[in-house]
A and B are shown apart, each in its own frame.
Chain A
């Protein structure tokens, strides 16, 4: 079992042009804790949608790599989107699930994964090209490499400790983070 902040920090080390979409709640705080970045897009509503935002972005920008970093609750709410991604087979998309088996942002109630529901197995069934389960920080560098050069769609099922980390809160201005993201990623013409 890993410390989620340390795992995410290693995933995002030397991130280059990697585009990152984060799910509402703790995974947004984890990514923000690594330092704000123009190529971060934080979701603050519509739980269950994070993987779909990653898919729309990955399809629009096949020249770039896209990483969705989110939690088990978000993936459980949008399980159908795993099948939608499996149909489209975006080679440049990775979905990283920080699975702490709890709804940590809303009071640490157990999620379905606490009862043994296997999100990696779901991703496998949905034809993700590569599914990895990781519970040791020593493998974080290998996972980081997958985000940059692995053949997608990739699903990284990261088993992390269920603890309450300090909330690092980035901008909640959707227009501002959209414009910042689009300016930082605009194609040169």
Chain B
């Protein structure tokens, strides 16, 4: 079923459903707000609000041990909080899809977001992730679906970076 007419968070949620993702960990974020709300309202998804993104890798490992698939939602700043805990995913071959709303890269009102935002993608690569960037809304569904295929067929770690230019256009306010 095509969901191309829906807002991009709805299209990501549809991809989650098709891939039978049933645990979603997140730190509240304006860019991910709609997707978080969709996950919270979904009876087949257990949503877990985290105090720090660093908790997410442990959650994904536990989910996998219990036979479930997990995705994590975070801002680019959160990636820096995860570097050591991401080691769990590689050490055990745990599939995980991380959706990252980018900060500090396009007309960000807060310049303090730049240091982490500018190293987010190389950091993820150093942590062993495959990374994909989404610049345009029309590419969201295909890219997240491709990432899920790579993660869950191959027990790999995949990060989808959602460009700030795209996220901001839909957010309507600054977080």
Interface residues of chain A, those whose CB is within 8 Å of chain B, are 19, 21, 41, 43-61, 78, 80-81, 83-84, 87-88, 174-175, 177-178, 181-182, 185-187
Let me know if B54 is at the binding interface, CB within 8 A: yes
- Which residues on the A side are within 8 Å of B68 (C-beta)? 56, 59-60
- Which residues on the A side are within 8 Å of B5 (C-beta)? none
A97 to B155, CA, bound (A): 31
- Which residues on the B side are within 8 Å of A53 (C-beta)? 58-59, 61-62, 65, 88
B58 x A49 contact (CB < 8 A): yes
Give the A-B contact count at a CB cut-off of 8 A. 119
A81 to B81, CA, bound (A): 14
A49 to B23, CA, bound (A): 17
A57 to B62, CA, bound (A): 4
**Residue-by-residue, is B109-153 near A (CB-CB < 8 Å gives 1, otherwise 0)?**
000000000000000000000000000000000000000000000
A57-B51 CB under 8 A given contacts A45-B88, A175-B92, A175-B93: no
A54 to B84, CA, bound (A): 18
Distance in Å: Cβ of A21 to nearest Cβ of chain B: 7
A129 to B52, CA, bound (A): 23
The closest CB in chain A to the CB of B70 belongs to: A56
Interface of A is mostly: helix
A88 to B25, CA, bound (A): 12
The closest CB in chain B to the CB of A19 belongs to: B65
A48 x B85 contact (CB < 8 A): yes
B87 x A46 contact (CB < 8 A): yes
B51 x A59 contact (CB < 8 A): no
**10 A-B residue pairings within 8 Å (CB atoms):** A44-B91, A49-B57, A55-B58, A56-B66, A60-B66, A84-B50, A175-B93, A177-B92, A181-B65, A185-B65
- Which residues on the B side are within 8 Å of A84 (C-beta)? 48-51, 55
Let me know if B163 is at the binding interface, CB within 8 A: no
A174 x B93 contact (CB < 8 A): yes
**Residue-by-residue, is B52-79 near A (CB-CB < 8 Å gives 1, otherwise 0)?**
1011111111111111101000000000
A60-B23 CB under 8 A given contacts A49-B57, A83-B51, A187-B67: yes
A53 to B57, CA, bound (A): 8
The closest CB in chain A to the CB of B51 belongs to: A80
The closest CB in chain B to the CB of A93 belongs to: B62
- Which residues on the A side are within 8 Å of B23 (C-beta)? 56, 59-60
Let me know if B46 is at the binding interface, CB within 8 A: yes
A49 x B65 contact (CB < 8 A): no
